[in-house]
Structure 1
């Protein structure tokens, strides 16, 4: 991933430099020197990343780690699927009851990961780890994420934490909206040729170029999201709202596979941003019927509606398309709890990188109408 980021950075920098040189010389310059420079940079980036990786893990060997879990499935997923064992030396895995029975098991560990443990039990482990100088990482529950955005204050001679709804300042919201307008307008102008080419390609099968769909944004307000059509016109002729299953989905057209892989189907949403329905960064806008299904399983899912929906977001960048709804919910609530323009800029830059990562466009399991259906299959519910 480090090499991938270096390659994208080099290509973007060289591309901008080439445009500047062409503008200054008032003519198209020879591309061969630029291509040679990019190839050289790619080789150097690969060598540098490999050497840096080896040096880092030689200088800072994996820390001795214990994993304390409440549900074994969650622990196994953390270690195996999320790659914890690749970066940490996992020496002990134990249930919370085993840990509380003998906290000295954690002594000698440098790091402890706590997954799915209730607050009372977790606090006991936390006090022990802090007392012993052990780093502790907590996989939070929804309530923990909300509490992380609390405002510390003093009232009635007591320390207090103020917890409430999305508490972004008016100044923050004003600047965020100004950024949305500038970015969407600039992107529409710069990408207008690509916009036109994509529209013509989509319309080649005889159907409409655009696809409108009702989605939810801040406070449950409904709006019509605009996308390039990537599926057959009769994709939902049975009336059932369902998420895509990725490349296996036979509803996706030939052009649709291409524009989905490059995320070009999302381009018309720039018009939604300019109009004010969406923000550049925010929680993913869900369909009302799918959001209702999520809320039946997870009432906390409605908390995502505290902020305006976005073209890209925390969960889209740091999760996968088929990451479980509960994990995505926590990511979005983490973003909502800590509003920051710097974080918005980081997410925008990270979005450029994931545009070309195949796993970011994966779908849900075949036969599942929503990602919740896939989560139930994975957990055996």
Structure 2
């Protein structure tokens, strides 16, 4: 099957899903809500409301990766579908309440949500199994340099049914004879020098081979380059954090509004948490910690205290070693699991120390350790630090500091309010996924030691990169 037909079929399958999710809502709207608004809707207006839900579901489905039947497990697809329909239903419910000039009965909407979840499971199951039954696994090659073992990830994430790894080769051997890629449909380039990678890339493009590249820091910086013409020549211009004044102003307004509303809406949770912490060991409710934000400026970040008062009495900065860390209090375990300990950072956002979206602020001592192996780590300080960020949404607890740095630089390279909103909504997806918790997994404190050789190798190869990325 040609790539065009393959992509067209996938789009049709995704459209079927969007229509299926819309059917329960449409029934709920036509049978109950449409006649109970302040101004009953005509047929045209009813259709607009249904189409609005369809558009919302498609938007949030893309944000939560709800349509990725080929690369996600069924459980992951259903979870993403649930989030997409739940957020879409919630938005429509708010609109209905505004039209009705008051709170309306939520039960019909909940019944529609149950129907949507059932249909989501059926679609996910059929689409996932149907995809692998229809499309045979692609003949795949892994070309590596400093990053080895990528083929293990394919099996770990259950993608061996999509990618059949028939060739694993170091870049040096591949460059000696590029014809070894003949008959290959997909290539994964893992940690290859940009000069060598570009040679392989050109060969793949010429021979219609799909190629996935793990970007390097230089690649990410260049991805934010602005295209222009000078001296009758094509040019790419790159500078330090090219965010426009309009973007920064809009971002600050959004930060102020969202943090203020968040503090008001969440005030009952904040109060109960404060009382629980104080009643447990009579220590301070909040924990202040020095962090770094834009241009290396230090500020005190606020968190609910989740550890004993003298957790770092020796003055040495340490990352948590996970649930078995005996420094964590009983209340601390609960608020960490629910991410409640992070909520006081809304105060930092309101003050202007933090943004809602940006690279997570690091402690000066930990940042200094990272910079010993990765001087580029300071490039994260081009933008204001954030409560959530690209690395928090798309990384995991065991994602290496180097890869988290690359993710943060990907965000910095493309400043956009749309991207900010996407990350904000995507953050909801990780709230109930324990593997995404920042720095709480056992062994996290030794990340730098375990990855020292890899990072050093990548750092060296980064310095050797060809400038024509």
Give the TM-score, by structure 2 length: 0.75
What residue in structure 2 maps to residue 185 of structure 1?
260
Superposition pairs for residues 159-174 of structure 1, below 5 Å? 159-174=234-249
Matched, 1:282 2:362: no
- SS of the residue 2:318 aligns to: coil
Matched, 1:221 2:297: yes
Please tell me whether the aligned partners of residues 210 and 228 of structure 1 are also in contact (alpha carbons under 8 angstroms): yes
Please tell me whether the aligned partners of residues 278 and 310 of structure 1 are also in contact (alpha carbons under 8 angstroms): yes
Please tell me whether the aligned partners of residues 322 and 364 of structure 1 are also in contact (alpha carbons under 8 angstroms): no
Please tell me whether the aligned partners of residues 397 and 441 of structure 2 are also in contact (alpha carbons under 8 angstroms): no
Matched, 1:153 2:231: no
State the Cα distance separating 1:341 from its structure 2 match. Answer: 1.2
CA distance in 2, matches of 1:287, 1:304: 13
- Give 1:68's match in structure 2, choosing from 140, 143, 148: 143
CA distance in 1, matches of 2:275, 2:435: 27
State the Cα distance separating 1:188 from its structure 2 match. Answer: 1.3
Superposition pairs for residues 94-105 of structure 1, below 5 Å? 94-105=169-180
CA distance in 2, matches of 1:203, 1:214: 22
Superposition pairs for residues 12-161 of structure 1, below 5 Å? 12=87, 37-71=112-146, 73-76=148-151, 78-81=153-156, 85=160, 87-161=162-236
State the Cα distance separating 1:183 from its structure 2 match. Answer: 1.1
State the Cα distance separating 1:54 from its structure 2 match. Answer: 2.0
State the Cα distance separating 1:166 from its structure 2 match. Answer: 0.5
Please tell me whether the aligned partners of residues 140 and 167 of structure 2 are also in contact (alpha carbons under 8 angstroms): yes
Q: Mean Cα displacement is larger for which, 341-350 or 325-334?
A: 341-350
- Give 2:368's match in structure 1, choosing from 288, 292, 299: 292
CA distance in 2, matches of 1:379, 1:170: 35
- SS of the residue 2:387 aligns to: strand
State the Cα distance separating 1:128 from its structure 2 match. Answer: 0.9
- Give 2:337's match in structure 1, choosing from 261, 275, 290: 261
State the Cα distance separating 1:370 from its structure 2 match. Answer: 5.4
Q: Mean Cα displacement is larger for which, 130-139 or 277-286?
A: 130-139
Please tell me whether the aligned partners of residues 241 and 369 of structure 1 are also in contact (alpha carbons under 8 angstroms): no
Structure 2 vs 1, CA of residues 128 and 184 (structure 1 numbering), >3 Å: closer, same or farther? same
Higher radius of gyration, 1 or 2: 2
Matched, 1:7 2:93: no
- Give 2:401's match in structure 1, choosing from 309, 322, 325: 325
Q: Mean Cα displacement is larger for which, 215-224 or 191-200?
A: 191-200
Which runs of no fewer than 5 residues in structure 1 stay unpaired? none
CA distance in 2, matches of 1:256, 1:95: 47
Structure 2 vs 1, CA of residues 342 and 209 (structure 1 numbering), >3 Å: closer, same or farther? same
- Give 1:334's match in structure 2, choosing from 405, 410, 417: 410
CA distance in 2, matches of 1:270, 1:181: 9
Please tell me whether the aligned partners of residues 319 and 445 of structure 2 are also in contact (alpha carbons under 8 angstroms): yes
